[in-house]
Amino acid sequence: MSSKEDILKKYRANVRQKYDMPDLTDIEGTTYPEPVVQFIKMSESVGAQVIEIDKGRDINTLVKELYPDAKEIASNLPEVTIATRNPDTAGSAGELNGTDVGIIRGQLGVAENGCIWVPQTMKEKAVCFISENLIILLPKSQIVNNMHEAYKQIEFDSRYDGYGTFISGPSKTADIAQVLVMGAQAARSVTVLLMPE
């Protein structure tokens, strides 16, 4: 018997009272009077920048203003005309290495934690993680209160093996010597553009 099995056997032997699993179907998460306001607050608390876009504002001009030194911009979104790389036409994920700005679309935002659901809608999903700076276009109308609501709305695109991820702010870690490092596993910065309805 392995040490893991031995430990579990000891735990089971000392259980005095057993409880049934709770019914999780009726759990309601926290709701907010203004989910958009809460989403912005939580996103900024984890290091993201959030910009509410006015109707008619040109995304390309804004990206140039935000990242004037960016040379390599990756996106497959039709409204992004300044892209120099397309994750749909890249031969491999490695071809996206050196991307200064990646621009993707989020499907829904979660007010309670600032997460954004990003389904894979491009051939090379590496653009979500390999870009130095990530811009996520998110429809303002697609912000839900909590993860319970989010999971009910998630749908996968069968063209991409059902992949998707939640992204919340820039990548960061303080695992080594308790020193905060930004961009350790993914983007150094995340900008969320809240698109008008």
Map tokens 């051939």 to a residue. Answer: 123
CATH number at residue 135: 3.40.50.10420
Task: Report yes or no on 101 lying in a domain.
Answer: yes
Check: CB of residue 130 under 8 Å from CB of residue 99: yes
Task: Report yes or no on 7 lying in a domain.
Answer: no
Task: Report yes or no on 8 lying in a domain.
Answer: no
| pLDDT value for 12 | 84
Task: Report yes or no on 16 lying in a domain.
Answer: no
Token duo for residue 112? 């309670």
Task: Report yes or no on 82 lying in a domain.
Answer: yes
Map tokens 């992204």 to a residue. Answer: 167
DSSP string covering 104-127: EE-SEEETTT--EEEE--SS-TTH
Check: CB of residue 103 under 8 Å from CB of residue 63: yes
Check: CB of residue 110 under 8 Å from CB of residue 146: yes
For residue 115, name the pLDDT band (cuts at 50, 70, 90): very high
| Count of the separate structural domains present in the chain | 1
The pTM of the full predicted model, rounded to 2 decimals, is: 0.84
User: Residues 77-107: pLDDT tens digits?
Assistant: 999 999 999 999 999 999 999 999 999 999 9
Residue 175, Cα to own-chain centre: how many angstroms?
21
Structural domain including 128 reads: 29-195
Task: Report yes or no on 6 lying in a domain.
Answer: no
Residue 59, Cα to own-chain centre: how many angstroms?
19
Tell me the average pLDDT across 48-72.
96
For residue 194, name the pLDDT band (cuts at 50, 70, 90): very high
Task: Report yes or no on 58 lying in a domain.
Answer: yes
| Per-chain mean pLDDT for the chain | 90
Task: Report yes or no on 96 lying in a domain.
Answer: yes
